[in-house]
Amino acid sequence: MEQKKRVFSGTRPTGRLHLGNYLGMVKGAIELQNRPDLDCLYCVVDLHGITTPYDTKTYASGIRTVVLDYLGAGLDPQKAHILVQSAVGAQHLELAYYFGTIYQVSRLEDLPTYKEKKTQHPDYVNMGLLYYPVLMAADILIYKSPLVPIGQDQEPHLEVTREIARKFNSMFGETFPEPQSFKTNAPIVPSLYGEGKMSKSKGDGIILTSSLEEIKAALAKVPTDSGKGEKFPAEGPLVNLLTFVELFEGHDRAMQYRERYKTTGIKYGELKTELAEAIYKELQPIQERRKYFEDHPQEVNQILKDGAEYARSIADETLKEVRQKMGLAR
């Protein structure tokens, strides 16, 4: 039988999944798990999460939270393997070490994500942070995944992954694919409040378990103008608001609002109420499913155990091949 193509993706357990994670990565992951030609592994990457400051007392429950968010959002253990990275930590870290021996330090120092973290946490610039993309390459390549559902911000990391694959293949013989990202229709989800992408650190309110009231409150904080003008602004919170209208209510509705801006004017109160209801409608079934898994912890344990076992069996195979090719076979 032809080996199915593998898909790997991961999320750090640094907080609750928000709309940005959902639209940027999770929806892509769901689309791919439904394809019979693909074998998907979806992971909570706890070893990546400890490269920035974290709380040891709450970390384990944070991992569990993301697992529940994953399951609630619709990552389906019948169709995909769901696991926590440290359950295959020995394997991923061993491969990452090998990759580290063939990749330039200066390339890693130049990455925008590394530079950003350095500015964010100047007292926490550790080896793990520099190594982050190398471990990510190992996560993906240990399963030889050619396809990775991720948001636009992860593209530089995927480029490192491809470079590592290429370098390894050229040094030790054809072994790894050069993975491509799989993007949803919303690879960049803007912050509700203005600049850059939606992110936990900006307090970008809407998480998968937000109630209708909480969604309304988050939208109420989005700054607006008079609702009327000759030209719809080219950027800023209004554009972002309409991006959400487009994502949750469709393109036509967003176009109508744009038109209204130039004619009758937009009533933001009504727009926000309608949008809040549309978002909530999508989140409600997610919250129900999440509740089911929250109430069935044994089932979740079993899902993670199965996921880890499956992952380990593939990872061990790849490592065997890698050690052999690198002249390390015992």
Q: Give contact residues for ligand TRP (rule: CB under 6 A).
A: 8-12, 45, 48, 136, 139-140, 148, 150, 154, 157
d(CA 312, CA 118): 33
**Secondary structure of residue 180 in the 3-state scheme:** strand
Question: 114 or 232, CB closer to ligand TRP?
Answer: 114
How near is the Cβ of 133 to ligand TRP at its closest, in Å?
8
How near is the Cβ of 136 to ligand TRP at its closest, in Å?
4
How near is the Cβ of 120 to ligand TRP at its closest, in Å?
13
Backbone angles phi, psi at 220, to 5 degrees: -60, -30
β-sheet with 147-149: strand ranges across? 80-84, 38-44, 5-11, 147-149, 180-182
Q: What is the DSSP letter of 197?
A: B
Question: 8 or 70, CB closer to ligand TRP?
Answer: 8
Backbone angles phi, psi at 145, to 5 degrees: -75, 125
- Helices 56-73 and 297-325: crossing angle, nearest 10°? 100
Question: 9 or 318, CB closer to ligand TRP?
Answer: 9
Non-local CB neighbours of 106 within 8 Å, separated by 6+ positions: none
How near is the Cβ of 222 to ligand TRP at its closest, in Å?
25
Active site members: 117, 197, 200
d(CA 36, CA 39): 8
Question: 113 or 256, CB closer to ligand TRP?
Answer: 113
Non-local CB neighbours of 276 within 8 Å, separated by 6+ positions: 212, 215, 216, 219
d(CA 169, CA 325): 10
Question: 64 or 157, CB closer to ligand TRP?
Answer: 157
- 283, HSE (Cβ side, Cα atoms, 13 Å): 22
How near is the Cβ of 242 to ligand TRP at its closest, in Å?
26
Residue 182 pairs in a beta bridge with: 149
Non-local CB neighbours of 187 within 8 Å, separated by 6+ positions: 24, 151, 152
| Residue least distant from ligand TRP (Cβ) | 10
How near is the Cβ of 157 to ligand TRP at its closest, in Å?
6
Question: 137 or 218, CB closer to ligand TRP?
Answer: 137
d(CA 28, CA 189): 13
Element (H, E) at 84: strand 80-84
